[in-house]
């Protein structure tokens, strides 16, 4: 037996022992008995059972570790916003009794995942299917929904399960829209062959080798019109060979790209070969006998119509509107069926929410707004997402982030905007570092980290699993070629030095320092931040690392990812564990899963929320090697990802509250548009709208972007002083509440109650917000409040002045406040390096502490807020939500704020003086705003929720979007 065959046989033996032991563990009905010791016992029994059939030893320690993880992981519940107009309940236990596709897929999943995770997937897919229509219902129906997952969190597993159940229920045509490039389409086809078809597709479309679910059930002879090959997409020549589909046949699967040629061929085939009647005008061919399920993977990409739908004076859509090509073709395919369901899947749904809910045309039918439902999926407990990766912002700074990101500062020279990879460069750019065509030191270190991660995984018994590194620094293919050549040369030199012992001293010294000063301590820090079942194994000593280095370096391959199916196929090669450094751009930005991703080197300029999040290939599952992962990126991008993590959490909380209140997807759309950070999607996907309609009811706008201008700062401080002077003496009670034993207090704070709205409007009229602020614009806020007052709402207010930070500034006495008291609040995030500063503005991450929104709530209102928070709360381990909250959320307090003043909703204006200096030294060179040493005034408003919210128009400057957030990608 060769060494390769030996490794493959050992891997197969380990897999068999794990599968057998897992069945033994699952057979125990009393789950309280499933302890680590119990799992050890069952692994020993399974190993003994295979001892006679194989001379190879079993790695029982690895088997035990894998099974402990599987039986410890769990998944939270999905939440749903829905509109049941025209819908009939239909999914009963009796309908599910004889399902075959789902049963074999469930058994396949249970061979790899814990029961609880599989059951969570079962419940989530049942929820989605039940919101679609019964495929046996013969009259026309149209259901459109959106499933919101997490980046790299297993959306494919979810829609694979949905497809299996839909096929069992009677859906006959299943179309999966799988991205823009061949690699993602091919990868999706292969995943569905494994999870649904049960065989590898061949060029002639006949079933090939049985795979995946085939081991767990009968051959169901399902048809696939597409294959895994590079040219396996649907096309005209394929269409000529396919005749009509009869309702008695097994379902047909189409995995197609969102590309004009492909979708046109598919639409023509449906209209000429599948349609069985026409509409009343005779112009539109219709399919009435075959129910359609369309799955739109990455539904925010390419599917959204970026043309502006026009509406008539009565609010009805202009039926002559011409949508963009891909959106038009998708809608025409749907419009050709009288019975259809469309389900979009994405982790970044914000473009989809901007689709107009009434958009429609004669040719294409309704737009793709998810009017029937939006489902917010939970991820399993071992998922590593933005909140875990980057932590959460508190008034004490960002807390709980994994210590895995590393600053990249040498990719360009800020003084000259030149160098290896400046933020703005042309496709003819040749990357050079200090005049030479070589990679910068930060990338050299990142490659060293990847090599060490591969070594550590090898020594942890993970040598038969894929290992990847991602380098994503430019969108231009020609520039990527230069990067690939430079990286390949760096790896070649590294390999040469270490395998031949050629001048290896300095390199080995650098690697040892990286191992001992970074990898070993970070392993211990990650262990402290992880639950017991997910703690990484202990690190091997340097001598073992040194001995393994040459073999690992020999295996490393440097590749370009260029969108071909081969990129996906390479990972599917059985028995071949790849160690790949993948260099790419936009082709890597969406969907394609890099197996075993350990190290990412990522420097890009876009700040658009959805683009950034989709580029986050490093999110996902890292069993047994999370501590070895590294993200090399610019400090600005880490800060942006942090903002996004906070904002995304806030919007998910909003979603849970709205689901608890039985609201609809249409009502959620306004909330997305009102958010300070998450309106960051391509302005094209926002319909090129010059105005947005938004509401502030139940929201908390806050100033996070400020002028770097002393005159403006003086104006804003004067506005705050004038307001406080008009309020007179502060409310006399102490700002400390017992709150059912959980004390709330605000040292150095003042509160005024029963403030008339006119005083708040005068303040907003005098305060200058930055023109590039998103939703916290003083003039728009004032307009909203005035409109609400016109309906009898928001006439009464509370005002609070909050200090308590440790920043420094010149003395300033606020009206009504003891001159001896300090009111300088927290420090800003402004860089000390003057060259890195924006000369016109500066930003902070978050202004308010959630508890601040309760500063004027009495105990009854506070308890009501806590009850509302707990009712809307659901466990979601991937977001760190495992214990029922004991304090109300900001959203809960805004819900409770309604009727705070009896029959009148009460708003809360929070004033925050920010420190004018960077650091703790009064040094003129450290002033954030040149020439301004007094407090920088910021504010937030806690708006009560309203049953009668008013909308206001919000002007969007498209040029600003492009300058601030970069181009759409």
Summarize pLDDT for 11-58 with one digit per residue, the tens. Answer: 778 888 888 888 888 788 776 677 777 888 888 999 888 887 777 788
pLDDT value, residue 111: 84
Q: Residue 60: pLDDT band by 50, 70, 90 thresholds?
A: confident
What integer pLDDT is reported at residue 497 of this predicted model? 92
Residue keyed to tokens 């059985």 = 574
Give the domain CATH number at 228: 3.40.50.300
Considering the domain architecture, whether residues 583 and 509 belong to the same structural domain is answered as yes
Give the pLDDT mean for 605-620: 56
Angle value at C-alpha 66, between 461 and 56, nearest 5 degrees: 50
Last residue of a domain, one of 20, 42, 70: 70
Q: Tell me the pLDDT band of 675, cut-offs 50, 70 and 90.
A: very low
Both 184 and 221 in one domain: the answer is yes
pLDDT band at 408 (very low <50, low <70, confident <90, very high): very high
Q: Which DSSP state fits 927?
A: B
609 and 498 fall within a common domain = yes
Length of the chain: 969
568 located within any domain: yes
- Mean pLDDT value across residues 920-928: 83
Quick check: 483 pLDDT over 80?
yes
Question: Which of 89-103, 687-701, 894-908 is predicted with the least confidence, judged by mean pLDDT?
Answer: 687-701
Claim to verify: residue 568 and residue 457 sit in the same structural domain? yes
Answer whether residue 963 shows pLDDT above 50.
no
Copy the structure tokens of residue 588.
Answer: 């890597």
Q: Buried b / exposed e across 870-908, counting CB within 10 Å, b at 16+?
A: eebbbebbbbebeeeeebbbbbbbbbbbbebbeeebbbb
Q: How many helices (H) and strands (E) does the chain have?
A: 28, 32
Q: Residues 855-888: pLDDT tens digits?
A: 998 888 898 999 999 988 877 766 667 678 888 9
Specify if 279 maps to a domain.
yes
CA distance 391 to 403: 10
Q: What gap in Å lies between CA 797 and CA 785, rounded to an integer?
A: 11
Inside any domain, residue 384: no
- Has residue 516 been placed in a domain? yes
Domain-embedded: residue 862:
no
Beta strands in 919-969 (DSSP E): 936-942, 952-955
Q: Is residue 510 part of a domain?
A: yes
Judgement on whether residues 635 and 747 belong to the same structural domain of the protein? no
Same domain, 83 and 61: no
Written in H, E and C, the secondary structure of 443-470 is: HHHHHHHHHHHHHHHHHCCCCCCCEEEE
Q: What phi and psi, each to the nearest 5 degrees, are found at residue 632?
A: -95, 115
Task: Judge if 61 and 91 occupy the same domain.
Answer: no
Report the share of the chain in percent with pLDDT over 90: 38
Is 956's pLDDT higher than 60?
A: no
Greater model confidence, 517 or 238:
517
Torsion of CA 863, 867, 872, 877, to 10 degrees: 80
Provide the mean pLDDT of the chain: 82
Rounded Cα gap, residues 774 and 961, in angstroms: 10
Pairing of strands 392-394, 173-178: unpaired
Task: Indicate whether 392 belongs to any domain.
Answer: no
Q: Is the predicted pLDDT of residue 425 greater than 60, yes or no?
A: yes
Residue 962 has pLDDT above 60, yes or no: no
Say if residue 85 is in the same domain as residue 30: no
> Given this model, what pLDDT does residue 837 score?
67
pLDDT of 467 higher than 50:
yes
Same structural domain, 726 and 748: yes
Considering the domain architecture, whether residues 356 and 483 belong to the same structural domain is answered as: no
Which residues, in sequence order, are CB contacts of 818 under 8 Å at separation 6+?
none
> Which residue has better confidence, 381 or 696?
696
851 has pLDDT over 70:
yes
| pLDDT recorded at residue 615 | 54
679 part of a folded domain: no
Last residue of a domain, one of 46, 70, 94: 70
Report how many domains make up the chain.
4
pLDDT tens for 647-663 read 667 767 777 888 887 88
Q: 674 pLDDT exceeds 70?
A: no
194/157 same-domain check? yes
Mean pLDDT of 468-481: 88
Overall pTM surpassing 0.85 (yes/no): no
Domain membership of residue 780 as a residue range: 696-731+740-857+904-950
The pLDDT of residue 41: 87
Last residue of a domain, one of 597, 627, 642: 642
Q: Is residue 671's pLDDT more than 70?
A: no
> Minimum mean pLDDT among 172-181, 411-420, 682-691, 929-938: which range?
682-691
The answer to whether residues 376 and 656 touch, using CB atoms and an 8 Å cutoff, is yes
Contact 182, 261 (CB under 8 A): no
Q: Are residues 830 and 709 in the same domain?
A: yes
């Amino acid at each position: 037996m060769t060494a390769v065959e030996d490794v493959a046989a050992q891997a197969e033996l380990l897999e068999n022992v794990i599968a057998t032991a897992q069945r033994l563990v699952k057979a125990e009905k009393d789950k309280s008995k499933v302890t680590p010791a119990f799992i050890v016992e069952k692994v020993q029994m399974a190993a003994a059972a295979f001892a006679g059939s194989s001379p190879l030893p079993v790695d029982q320690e690895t088997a035990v570790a894998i099974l402990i993880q599987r039986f410890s992981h769990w998944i939270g519940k999905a939440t749903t916003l829905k509109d049941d107009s025209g819908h009939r309940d239909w999914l009963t236990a009796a309908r599910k009794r004889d399902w075959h596709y789902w049963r074999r897929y469930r058994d396949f999943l249970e061979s790899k995942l814990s029961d609880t995770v599989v059951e969570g997937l079962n419940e989530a897919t049942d929820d989605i299917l039940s919101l679609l229509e019964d495929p046996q219902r013969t009259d026309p129906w149209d259901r459109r929904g959106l499933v919101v997952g997490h980046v790299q969190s297993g959306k494919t597993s979810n829609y694979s399960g949905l497809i299996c159940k839909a096929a069992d229920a009677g859906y006959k045509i299943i179309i999966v829209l799988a991205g823009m490039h061949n690699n993602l389409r091919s990868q999706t086809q292969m995943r569905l062959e494994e999870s649904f078809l049960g065989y590898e597709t061949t060029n002639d479309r006949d079933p090939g080798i049985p795979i995946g679910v085939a081991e767990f059930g009968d051959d169901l002879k399902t048809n696939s019109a597409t294959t895994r090959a590079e040219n396996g997409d649907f096309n005209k020549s394929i269409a000529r060979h396919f005749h009509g589909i009869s309702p008695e046949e097994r379902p047909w699967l189409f995995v197609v790209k969102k590309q004009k040629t492909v979708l046109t061929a598919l639409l023509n085939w449906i209209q000429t070969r599948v349609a069985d009647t026409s509409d009343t005008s005779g112009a539109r061919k219709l399919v009435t006998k075959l129910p359609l399920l369309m799955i739109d993977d990455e539904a925010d990409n390419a599917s959204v119509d970026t043309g502006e739908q026009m509406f008539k004076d009565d609010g009805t859509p202009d039926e002559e509107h011409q949508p963009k090509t891909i959106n038009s073709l998708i809608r025409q395919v749907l419009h050709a069926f009288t019975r259809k369901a469309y389900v979009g899947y994405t982790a970044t749904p914000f473009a989809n929410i901007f689709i107009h809910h009434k958009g429609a045309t004669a040719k294409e039918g309704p737009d793709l707004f998810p009017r029937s439902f939006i489902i917010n999926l939970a991820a399993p407990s071992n998922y590593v997402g933005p909140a875990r990766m980057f932590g959460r912002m508190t008034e004490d700074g960002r807390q709980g982030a994994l210590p895995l990101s590393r600053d990249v500062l040498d990719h360009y020279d800020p003084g000259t905007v030149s160098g290896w990879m400046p933020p703005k460069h042309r496709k003819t750019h040749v990357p050079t570092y200090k005049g030479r065509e070589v990679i910068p030191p930060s990338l050299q270190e990142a490659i060293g980290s990847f090599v060490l991660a591969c070594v550590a995984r090898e020594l942890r018994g993970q040598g038969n699993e894929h290992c990847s590194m991602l380098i994503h620094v430019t969108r231009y293919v020609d520039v990527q070629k230069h990067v690939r050549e430079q990286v390949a040369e760096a790896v070649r030199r590294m390999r040469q030095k270490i395998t031949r012992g050629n001048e290896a001293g300095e390199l080995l010294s650098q690697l040892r320092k990286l191992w001992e000063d970074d990898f070993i301590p970070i392993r211990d820090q990650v262990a402290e931040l992880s639950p017991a079942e997910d703690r990484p194994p202990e690190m091997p000593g340097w001598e073992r690392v040194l001995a393994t280095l040459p073999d690992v370096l020999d295996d490393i391959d440097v590749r370009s990812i260029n969108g071909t199916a081969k990129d996906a196929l390479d990972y599917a090669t059985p028995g071949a564990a790849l160690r790949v450094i993948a260099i790419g751009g936009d082709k890597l930005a969406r969907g394609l899963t890099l197996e075993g991703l350990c190290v990412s080197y990522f420097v890009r300029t876009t700040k658009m929320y959805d683009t950034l999040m989709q580029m986050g290939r490093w999110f996902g599952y890292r069993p047994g090697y999370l501590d070895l992962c590294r993200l090399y990126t610019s400090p600005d991008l880490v800060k942006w990802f942090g903002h996004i993590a906070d904002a995304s959490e806030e919007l998910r909380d909003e979603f849970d509250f709205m689901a608890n209140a039985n609201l609809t997807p249409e009502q959620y759309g306004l909330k997305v548009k009102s958010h300070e950070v998450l309106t960051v999607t391509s302005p094209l996907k926002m319909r090129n709208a010059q105005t947005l309609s938004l509401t502030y009811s139940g929201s908390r706008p806050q100033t996070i972007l400020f002028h770097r201008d002393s005159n403006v700062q003086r104006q804003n401080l004067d506005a705050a002083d004038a307001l406080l002077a008009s309020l007179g003496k502060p409310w006399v009670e102490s700002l400390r509440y017992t709150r059912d034993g959980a004390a709330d207090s605000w040292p150095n704070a003042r509160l005024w109650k029963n403030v008339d709205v006119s005083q708040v409007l005068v303040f907003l009229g005098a305060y200058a917000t930055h023109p590039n602020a998103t939703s916290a614009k003083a003039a728009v806020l004032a307009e909203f409040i005035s409109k609400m007052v016109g309906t009898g709402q928001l006439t009464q207010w509370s005002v609070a002045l909050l200090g308590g930070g440790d920043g420094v500034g010149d003395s300033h006495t606020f009206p009504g406040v003891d001159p001896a008291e300090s009111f300088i609040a927290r420090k800003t995030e402004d860089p000390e390096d003057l060259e890195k500063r924006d000369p016109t503005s500066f930003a902070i991450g978050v202004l308010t502490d959630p508890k601040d929104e309760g500063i004027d709530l009495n105990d009854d209102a506070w308890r009501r807020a806590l009850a509302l928070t707990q009712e809307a709360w659901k466990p979601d381990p991937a977001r760190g939500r495992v214990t029922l909250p004991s304090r109300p959320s900001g959203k809960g307090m805004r819900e409770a704020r309604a009727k705070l003043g009896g029959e009148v909703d009460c708003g809360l204006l929070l004033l925050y003086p920010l420190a004018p200096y960077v650091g703790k030294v009064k040094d003129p060179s450290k002033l954030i705003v040149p020439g301004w040493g007094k407090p920088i005034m910021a504010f937030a408003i806690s708006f009560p929720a309203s049953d009668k919210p008013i909308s206001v128009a919000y002007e969007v400057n498209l040029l600003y979007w492009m300058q601030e957030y970069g181009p759409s990608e």
